[in-house]
């Protein structure tokens, strides 16, 4: 299978084209990827899993899973209206609001996460965009300290500009998380306070600063199968591709517009993990929100389909997880290793 990552917006040979022509070519690239993903998705389940596992073995250690801990460093009171989120100030979710946390408290959490097997520590703040000044300076110090511990520091802070991306890079940031959440077409059904292109703009600043992109989506928000595959086509068309792709399953939060969304079919989840593995062969495909209610058997199927990272701990920002001990037990039962 030919996997072409050429992005016409980045290709120097395309310099004579107008921006409109470049965008048209980009969407042509996405359309090609989408056609390929649709082809994959229509394979029989066993053929798809076989192919995904083969790609996984060619590109990664199939018996290794990275543990990643995500900590909320500033919780709630977010002005955005993401329909799935407990932290939006627009919904009554009963969430306890917390200002930016003390650096030492967060660094203690990072040390604990490392002792429990995590090699990546992600710090999330409920901001529309990164504020300049003391708060950003505090985040930069935390990034430096987490890096000094020998972990991969990652942050998710909302939109950023090119200068902020550069400062994060200089502080030693490994990855910036910025999920595209869903397809371009479905995005306005979930979020009205920013656009899909705003999202891509931040990702492009992150790429230009030389920081790894962590970007994925959320399944189960009422989107169609076509939306999910289209989201994957966008991720697969990025150049460079995201080195980390979180696959979240919606945890419906009472008080949000998506509190009554229908759950997704488990086999659809496994199929999407398999397609992600094939289309982004070297990425860390991360099982993220929603793992608390996944059986060990479902998670195992996802690992066979190419997932090779999990968010671990008791919480993922504000949604519950099962804790490290269940995750370590599952690794032992499967004869798999936690990536060191
Ligand atoms: S997902 Fe992020 S940006 Fe959206 S409401 Fe929640 S905290 Fe704010």
Q: How do residues 43-59 score in pLDDT, each as one tens digit?
A: 999 999 999 999 999 99
| 193 compared with 2, residue with greater pLDDT | 193
Q: Which of 78, 178, 248 has most ligand 1 atoms within 8 Å of its beta carbon, as the pocket-test mutant?
A: 78
Q: Could you list the active site residues?
A: 78, 82, 85, 122, 154, 214, 286
Q: Does residue 85 line the site of ligand 1, with CB under 6 A?
A: yes
Residue 220 to residue 252: CA distance in whole angstroms: 9
Is there a domain that residue 95 lies in? Answer: yes
- Distances from the Cα of 134 to the Cα of 131, 140, 141, 205, angstroms: 8, 10, 11, 22
The separation between CA 129 and the C-alpha centre of its own chain, rounded to angstroms, equals: 18
| 29 compared with 313, residue with greater pLDDT | 29
Q: Are 215 and 236 in contact (CB under 8 A)?
A: no
- Indicate which atom in ligand 1 lies nearest the CA of residue 128: 3
Tally of domains in the chain: 1
| 168 compared with 17, residue with greater pLDDT | 168
- Classify 10 as helix, strand or coil: coil
So what's the pLDDT on residue 94?
87
Distance 128 CA to ligand 1 centre (A): 7
Residue 261 to residue 270: CA distance in whole angstroms: 19
Where do runs of H (alpha helix) occur along the chain?
19-41, 45-59, 103-115, 134-148, 162-171, 187-190, 196-208, 225-237, 266-279, 296-304, 324-334
User: What percentage of the chain has pLDDT greater than the value 70?
Assistant: 89
Going by alpha carbons, the residue nearest to atom 7 of ligand 1 is 126
Average pLDDT, the chain: 90
| End-to-end Cα separation, the chain, in angstroms | 31
Distance 340 CA to ligand 1 centre (A): 31
Query: At 110, is the pLDDT very low, low, confident or very high (cuts 50, 70, 90)?
Result: very high
So what's the pLDDT on residue 57?
97
Query: At 315, is the pLDDT very low, low, confident or very high (cuts 50, 70, 90)?
Result: low
Q: Are 33 and 279 in contact (CB under 8 A)?
A: yes
Q: Does residue 125 line the site of ligand 1, with CB under 6 A?
A: no
Is there a domain that residue 164 lies in? Answer: yes
Residue 74 to residue 121: CA distance in whole angstroms: 15
Query: At 213, is the pLDDT very low, low, confident or very high (cuts 50, 70, 90)?
Result: very high
So what's the pLDDT on residue 2?
31
pLDDT in tens, 260-309: 999 999 999 999 999 999 999 999 999 998 888 899 999 999 999 999 99
Average confidence (pLDDT) over 318-334 = 81
Average confidence (pLDDT) over 170-195 = 96
Q: Which of 126, 246, 251 has most ligand 1 atoms within 8 Å of its beta carbon, as the pocket-test mutant?
A: 126
Is there a domain that residue 29 lies in? Answer: no
Q: Does residue 253 line the site of ligand 1, with CB under 6 A?
A: no
Q: Are 158 and 125 in contact (CB under 8 A)?
A: yes
Is there a domain that residue 33 lies in? Answer: no
Place of tokens 């495909």: 285
Is there a domain that residue 240 lies in? Answer: yes
So what's the pLDDT on residue 69?
93
Distance 304 CA to ligand 1 centre (A): 31
DSSP 102: P
pLDDT in tens, 55-71: 999 999 999 999 999 99
Q: Is the pLDDT of residue 192 over 90?
A: yes
Q: Is the pLDDT of residue 7 over 60?
A: no
Is there a domain that residue 36 lies in? Answer: no
Instruction: Please give the residue range of the domain that contains residue 259.
Output: 45-335
pLDDT in tens, 10-20: 444 445 666 56
Q: Which of 88, 193, 196 has most ligand 1 atoms within 8 Å of its beta carbon, as the pocket-test mutant?
A: 88
Is there a domain that residue 214 lies in? Answer: yes
So what's the pLDDT on residue 6?
35
Is there a domain that residue 34 lies in? Answer: no
So what's the pLDDT on residue 130?
87
Going by alpha carbons, the residue nearest to atom 2 of ligand 1 is 126
- Indicate which atom in ligand 1 lies nearest the CA of residue 126: 7
Residue 64 to residue 340: CA distance in whole angstroms: 9
**Domain CATH for 130:** 3.20.20.70
Q: What is the DSSP string of 239-265?
A: SSPPSEEEEEE----TTSTTTTPPPPP
């Amino acid at each position: 299978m030919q996997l072409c990552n050429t992005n016409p917006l980045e290709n120097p040979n395309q310099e004579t084209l107008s921006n409109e022509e470049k965008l048209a070519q980009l969407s042509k690239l996405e359309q090609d990827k989408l056609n390929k993903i649709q082809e994959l998705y229509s394979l029989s389940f066993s053929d798809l899993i076989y192919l995904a596992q083969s790609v996984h073995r060619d590109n990664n250690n199939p018996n290794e899973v990275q543990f990643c801990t995500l900590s909320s460093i500033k919780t709630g009171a977010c002005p955005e209206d993401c329909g799935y989120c407990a932290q939006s100030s627009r919904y009554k979710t009963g969430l306890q609001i917390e200002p930016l946390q003390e650096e030492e408290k967060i660094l203690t959490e990072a040390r604990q996460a490392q002792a429990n097997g995590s090699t990546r520590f992600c710090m999330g703040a409920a901001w529309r965009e990164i504020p300049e000044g003391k708060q950003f300076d505090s985040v930069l110090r935390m990034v430096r300290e987490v890096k000094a511990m020998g972990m991969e520091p990652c942050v998710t802070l909302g939109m950023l500009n090119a200068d902020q991306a550069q400062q994060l890079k200089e502080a030693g940031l490994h990855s910036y998380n910025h999920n595209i959440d869903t397809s371009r077409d479905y995005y306005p059904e979930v979020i009205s306070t920013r656009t899909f292109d705003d999202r891509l703009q931040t990702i492009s600043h992150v790429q230009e600063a030389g920081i790894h992109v962590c970007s994925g989506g959320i399944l189960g928000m009422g989107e169609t199968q076509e939306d999910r595959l289209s989201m994957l086509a966008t991720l697969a068309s990025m150049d460079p591709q995201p080195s980390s792709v979180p696959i979240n399953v919606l945890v419906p939060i009472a008080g949000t517009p998506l509190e009554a969304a229908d759950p997704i079919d488990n086999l659809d989840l496994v199929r999407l993990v398999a397609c992600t593995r094939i289309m982004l062969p070297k990425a860390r495909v991360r099982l993220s929100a929603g793992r608390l209610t996944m059986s060990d058997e479902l998670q195992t199927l996802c690992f066979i389909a190419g997932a090779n990272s999990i968010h671990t701990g008791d919480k993922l920002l504000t949604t519950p997880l099962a804790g490290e001990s269940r995750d370590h037990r599952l690794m032992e039962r499967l004869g798999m290793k936690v990536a060191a």
